């Protein structure tokens, strides 16, 4: 049997065929054009689904289900997107609308939860039944898998661990709270922290690396400066890793998953990031005596995690 996974994003709709091992067989996509009525967008989802099936010569009866990962908060039992961050999809009956075109079971889940499920089924957490997947990107996406299933609470809105205050009355977060983990440990956050440090320290390597144009600072700049021995860069990186560790330790103390999976571009920093991160987390978490500690691993599923995790909702 095969499974269809749909990654419904603010920019693109990506659709893939996934086998029962979580391997992506074939995919296609189209622009979301999110200003359109939801009926038109869901019609496109159906059209691309039928196209990818046709491309591979697979019969519809060999497809077990369609899973959809979307931003925001779904009502997964009713197949309704209750709240969507950046689509005009609030209170939208996605499942019913899609089933007008394709008569298959349709599952709906938050996209960060789908990424976590992908790591659990086929990625860095496939050997354990309980894991947390954290993606350090524009924000911090969190997904929780317990007993090999997505855990999202009574209202399907849980696992928002990026929106956990780690600095009371701290930096304003996009969610309305002040001091969220996301405001300190996302890629957006290290860019802000790098710029602030460069402004205060005009002689730092950071300024040199961007040719004096702080608009060119990205999430790598402070790491690059630190690797060149720049004290300001080292300080930014050290503090940034400490912020990651604090939210990670908080999440671990709450959930104690067998593995914590970290994704996002910053993982390319490899052991330069992971070694101090593990040291901080392992010294902080509440695992005393001989109590085993969760493993900290890098995500493996890459950009297709959303499609694969969505597909695996039906497994």
Residues 83-142 that bind its own copies (CB under 8 A): 83, 90-91, 128-130, 142
C-beta of residue 83 within 8 angstroms of C-beta of residue 90: yes
Spatial separation of the C-alpha atoms in residues 206 and 194, rounded to whole Å = 8
Among 7, 109, 160, 234, binds its own copies (CB under 8 A): 160
Among 118, 124, 161, 310, binds its own copies (CB under 8 A): 161
What is the distance of C-alpha 93 from the center of its chain?
24
Q: Which stretch binds its own copies (CB under 8 A): 25-33, 38-46, 119-127, 153-161?
A: 153-161
Site size for its own copies, by CB under 8 A?
A: 57
Spatial separation of the C-alpha atoms in residues 157 and 21, rounded to whole Å = 27
Judged by CB under 8 A, does residue 287 bind its own copies?
yes
Among 226, 251, 299, 313, binds its own copies (CB under 8 A): 251
Residue whose tokens read 């994704």: 263
Residues 211-240 that bind its own copies (CB under 8 A): none
C-beta of residue 117 within 8 angstroms of C-beta of residue 99: no
Spatial separation of the C-alpha atoms in residues 118 and 124, rounded to whole Å = 9
Among 243, 261, 277, 296, binds its own copies (CB under 8 A): 243
* Strand duo 2-8 + 12-19: pairing: antiparallel
Q: Which stretch binds its own copies (CB under 8 A): 6-14, 39-47, 162-170, 201-209?
A: 162-170
Spatial separation of the C-alpha atoms in residues 105 and 152, rounded to whole Å = 20
Residue 30 C-beta: closest distance to its own copies, Å: 27
231-255 helix and 187-200 helix, angle to the nearest 10 degrees: 150
Could you tell me which residues are beta bridge partners of residue 297?
A: 261
Q: Which stretch binds its own copies (CB under 8 A): 29-37, 58-66, 223-231, 250-258?
A: 250-258
Among 184, 210, 260, 264, binds its own copies (CB under 8 A): 184
Residue 170 C-beta: closest distance to its own copies, Å: 8
What does the DSSP 8-state code read for residue 299?
Answer: -
C-beta of residue 76 within 8 angstroms of C-beta of residue 110: no
Q: Which CB atom, from 85 or from 199, has the smaller least distance to its own copies?
A: 85
Name the site residues for its own copies (rule: CB under 8 A).
72-73, 82-83, 90-91, 128-130, 142, 144, 146, 151-161, 163-168, 170, 175-177, 184, 242-243, 246, 249-251, 253-258, 283-284, 286-294
């Amino acid at each position: 049997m095969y499974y269809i996974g749909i990654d419904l994003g603010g920019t693109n709709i990506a659709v893939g065929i996934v086998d029962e091992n979580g391997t992506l067989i074939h995919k296609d996509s189209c622009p979301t054009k999110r200003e359109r009525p939801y009926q038109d967008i869901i019609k496109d989802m159906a059209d691309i689904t039928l196209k990818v099936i046709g491309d591979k010569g697979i019969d519809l009866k060999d497809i077990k289900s369609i899973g959809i990962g979307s931003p925001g908060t779904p009502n997964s039992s009713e197949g309704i997107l209750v709240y969507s961050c950046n689509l005009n999809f609030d209170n939208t009956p996605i499942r019913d609308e899609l089933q007008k075109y394709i008569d298959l079971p349709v599952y709906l889940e938050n996209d960060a939860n789908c990424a976590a499920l992908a790591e659990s089924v086929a990625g860095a957490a496939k050997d354990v039944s309980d894991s947390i997947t954290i993606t350090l990107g524009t924000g911090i996406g969190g997904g929780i898998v317990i007993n090999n299933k997505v855990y999202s609470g009574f209202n399907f809105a849980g696992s928002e661990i990026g929106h956990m205050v780690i600095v009371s009355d701290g930096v304003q977060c996009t969610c309305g709270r002040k001091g969220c983990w996301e405001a300190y440990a996302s890629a957006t956050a290290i860019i802000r922290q790098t710029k602030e440090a460069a402004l205060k320290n005009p002689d730092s390597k950071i300024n040199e690396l961007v040719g004096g144009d702080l608009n060119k600072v990205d999430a790598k700049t402070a790491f690059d400066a630190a690797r060149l021995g720049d004290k300001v860069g080292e300080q930014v990186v050290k503090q940034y890793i400490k912020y990651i560790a604090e939210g990670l330790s908080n999440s671990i103390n709450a959930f104690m998953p067998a593995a914590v999976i970290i994704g996002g571009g910053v993982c390319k920093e490899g052991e330069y990031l992971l070694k101090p991160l593990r040291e901080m987390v392992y010294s902080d978490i509440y695992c005393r005596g001989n109590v085993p500690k969760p493993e900290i691993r890098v995500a493996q599923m890459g950009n297709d995690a959303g499609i694969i995790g969505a597909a695996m909702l039906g497994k």
